[in-house]
Structure 1
Amino acid sequence: MAYLLQLETATKNCSVAVSRDGQTIALREVAEQGFSHAEKLHLFIEQAMLDAQITYADLSAVAVSQGPGSYTGLRIGVSAAKGLCFALGIPLVAIDTLAVLAAQVTVSDGLIIPMIDARRMEVYSAVFDANRNAVRGVQAEILTAESYADTNAKMYIVGDCQQKCKTVLTDDRFVFLEDVVFPSANAMGALAHAKFLAQDFVDVAYFEPYYLKDFLVGGK
């Protein structure tokens, strides 16, 4: 039996979950306009561990959202994850933030396109098929009316930039799933457990978040 602590801090959502063999058994999260990760993250970790009724010695690994996303949020989450892994002598699992967003979507056809808001009309995006397999990797892109003109498939847009996306992605091929706004630690369980079983770990000492663009420093 594997207990994993999962931290998702790449966006405004400060989210912590504990999973057992890939299934969430405790969740604490809040999404606020002002980033409250520095104040809330360690409190949520303590609360989630109490809710799960386990001790830190029971943890098999820590999983953390690796980005892209907020520079500050990612630094806070990764620093906390590293500190726990060092202290407990357990491995660190890194999960792509856009894959966490895609994991919150269930569709039978078409493409899932998770997006995280950057600046102006820029987003960080990736493309997954209906089975949540990656079709196109993470990239920064500026949205225009011509974006995704090369596919006729139905495209399900999720993330925190849907309102601005609607101003340019107006074709009926685009479906906006407004209930999926932020990545959540609740959706990390299966992804993290699969990596844990495969022993797909990152180096605790040298791992750095995937910022994607340097201009996030001092920004969002």
Structure 2
Amino acid sequence: MTSQTESDSPRPVIGLALEVIGREGSVALICDGEVAQTDDLPGDVRATASLTPALQSLLLKFNPADSNAQINPVESAAATRASRPDFIAVADGPGSFTGLRIAASTAKTLAYAWGIPVVTSDSLSVLAAAILPPGISRSGGPGVDLPDPGQRLIVGLDAYRGQTFVGSFEATDSGWQSVREVELMDRAEWLAALESASPGTWVTGDAIKPGLPTEHLQPVGRKQTLASALAGHSHQKFLVGQTTDPMEVLPKYFRPSAAEEKAASSRTGSAKG
């Protein structure tokens, strides 16, 4: 699939992907399904300050001759068609409250200014996609450990406060397929989920820590940045029209913030008194 520039000549489908699922984030540029560039955001700079410059850098690498490749929301509407992506992909949750809010706000602002759609994916699907190298085919290659169809995967994302966001997936010929909605588990539920998982089940995520009952399971690490995994996942969704209007993009926290929970507890206590 190709898009048209202002000169009506075909060009590859270009997508920008951004995620701030945790305390750090990453960005990626995808061109016709191939990740052309991906970068981690600097760990010593807040995402509020580093995200926009990182996206600007990706656009300039895509079209270095185009001085209009702006991502300043005030100037971006004037960017030429050739310097704009066809879609923006964002991981919309669960994850860091601040990070998700920054990512969603940036994606919707730029997409609205450029007049392009947003492709959203839940964070656990992104974490699942990241355990395989980018661009790997089902045939794999030397040293590439691919899941067989039907292979199960559990993704655990540390939600702090003694809780874990959990995703369950099954491998298919087209990638990981979610088999249930994202779940928020307390520690006892999380331990029980790991203990009851079938032997050989793959597990990944920052909630997979030493001391957990994973001896019968197969821990797997990340093979690409989360943004590159998001980009590949989103490219396929874009091609089949699974997009979102920019104004409808909102972070999905899957639970109240600590402040909201404290306020609710205070109201409950006052009511009982």
Matched, 1:95 2:141: no
Aligned to 1:175: 218
C-alpha distance in structure 2 between counterparts of 1:212 and 1:183, whole Å: 23
Using the TM superposition, give the Cα deviation of residue 31 of structure 1 relative to its aligned residue in structure 2, in angstroms: 6.1
**TM-score using structure 2 length:** 0.71
| Cα 1:9–1:158 shift into 2, 3 Å | same
Query: CA contact under 8 A between 2:97 and 2:257: conserved in structure 1?
Result: no
Aligned to 2:271: none
C-alpha distance in structure 2 between counterparts of 1:147 and 1:140, whole Å: 12
Q: Report SS of the residue matched to 2:233.
A: helix
Q: Which of these residues, 237, 242, 251, is aligned with residue 209 of structure 1?
A: 251
| Cα 1:182–1:156 shift into 2, 3 Å | same
Aligned length: 214
Cα RMSD for the two superposed structures: 2.5
Q: Report SS of the residue matched to 1:186.
A: helix
More strand by share: 1
1:128-155 Cα deviation digits (max 9, x unpaired): 1133111222111123342244442422
Query: CA contact under 8 A between 1:68 and 1:211: conserved in structure 2?
Result: yes
1:101-150 Cα deviation digits (max 9, x unpaired): 10122432432222211124311110111331112221111233422444
Using the TM superposition, give the Cα deviation of residue 67 of structure 1 relative to its aligned residue in structure 2, in angstroms: 0.7
Q: Which of these residues, 8, 30, 33, is aligned with residue 19 of structure 2?
A: 8
C-alpha distance in structure 2 between counterparts of 1:50 and 1:183, whole Å: 20
Please identify runs of 4+ aligned residues in structure 1 that moved more than 6 A. none
Write the letter of the residue equivalent to 1:20. C
Using the TM superposition, give the Cα deviation of residue 183 of structure 1 relative to its aligned residue in structure 2, in angstroms: 6.2
Aligned to 2:102: 76
Using the TM superposition, give the Cα deviation of residue 90 of structure 1 relative to its aligned residue in structure 2, in angstroms: 0.7
Q: Where do residues 1-220 of structure 1 align in structure 2 (5 Å cutoff)?
A: 1-30=12-41, 32=43, 36-53=46-63, 55=69, 57=81, 58-106=84-132, 107-109=146-148, 110-131=151-172, 132-144=176-188, 145-163=191-209, 166-170=210-214, 172-177=215-220, 179-180=221-222, 184-215=226-257
The runs of 5 or more residues in structure 1 that have no matched partner are: none
| Cα 1:36–1:141 shift into 2, 3 Å | same
1:148-186 Cα deviation digits (max 9, x unpaired): 4444242222112222xx32324x222222x32996111
The runs of 5 or more residues in structure 2 that have no matched partner are: 1-11, 70-78, 133-145, 262-273
Query: CA contact under 8 A between 1:4 and 1:61: conserved in structure 2?
Result: yes
1:55-80 Cα deviation digits (max 9, x unpaired): 46331111111111011000000111
Q: Report SS of the residue matched to 2:17.
A: strand
**TM-score using structure 1 length:** 0.86
Q: Which moved more, 1:17-26 or 1:48-57?
A: 48-57
C-alpha distance in structure 1 between counterparts of 2:156 and 2:22, whole Å: 11
Write the letter of the residue equivalent to 1:108. P
C-alpha distance in structure 2 between counterparts of 1:136 and 1:35, whole Å: 35
Identity %: 27
